Amino acid sequence: MKMAIAFKDVDLNFNLTINQTKLHRVSYKRLFYRTFDKKRFVYSFSFLAIFLFMFQILIDGNSCSNVSTCLSGNCSFEDTHKYPYGIPIGNGSRLPIPGTNQRLPEVLIIGVRKGGTRALLEMLNLHPDIQKVPMEVHFFDRTDRHALGLEWYRHQMPFTFEGQLTVEKSPSYFITPEAPKRVYKMNSSAKLLLIVRDPVVRLLSDFAQIEATRSEWKKKPRSFEDVALLSNGSVNFQYKAIQHPSLGKLAPYLCLAPIYT
């Protein structure tokens, strides 16, 4: 930003200076043609174009080699991280890595929102035995998507080898009353990962994200007090980010593992 403003100011002053007198304008032209060597510029540009062309060939060659290796069945767990939804073969088509399949997730990161769930997912994905679902599928918290069935849900999953764990993250699962029962019906042995955070700090972070989204949609800005407090100064328990006593709804479906801090 500073560079753009500075460039604009310098450009304006420079134009004013060179337009003040004919002498200045002539001096500027002489300086330009003296320093600009057309032949040298053409040579430099040609060299750069050839270099970029050869570099692209090298990259494509390595890519083709990797693809050929995978298609021949010599892939490792790490290769599923490169091609989570299959190997691109052109025209928008993809082929699954031999020996892989799309499997329902065995691990779900269910929340909390603004608790660091994305960071947790990315760190887990560093392990070759774990394959993340890149996007939030929202299968268990949205009735319209849940109605599409488990087969639809499975086809949203990345390809994995036998023995790899598929991990899906949707923080809304924690605050959706229907989600625990739906997850239990899919897999009663599924592992649920939950991050907890100081509730006040989490609430403020959640509010900031919501307001940023509202701003993108040109909606009227609100203060935190407008949504979190009533006119008499008491807490507004109807505000979504405050009202959900979610852990109690999970209890009938849980066998609690140790809590890590």
Residue 92: left (phi > 0), alpha (psi -120 to 50), or beta?
left
Q: What angle do CA 92, 98, 99 make, to 5 degrees?
A: 130
Alpha-carbon gap, residue 260 to 189, rounded angstroms:
20
Answer yes or no: is 197 a known binding residue. yes
Answer yes or no: is 118 a known binding residue. yes
Answer yes or no: is 117 a known binding residue. yes
Angle between helices 22-35 and 2-18 (to 10 degrees): 120
Q: Which two tokens stand for residue 223?
A: 């203060």
Answer yes or no: is 154 a known binding residue. no
Element (H, E) at 168: strand 165-169
Q: Which of 2, 22, 114, 181 is catalytic?
A: 114
DSSP assignments along 79-115, one per residue: HHHH-TT-EEEETTEEEPPTT-EE---SEEEEE-TTS
Alpha-carbon gap, residue 216 to 169, rounded angstroms:
24
Answer yes or no: is 189 a known binding residue. no
114 as an active site residue: the answer is: yes
Active site residues: 114
Which residues are documented as binding site?
A: 114-118, 197, 205
Q: Binding site for 3'-phosphoadenylyl sulfate: residue ranges?
A: 114-118, 197, 205
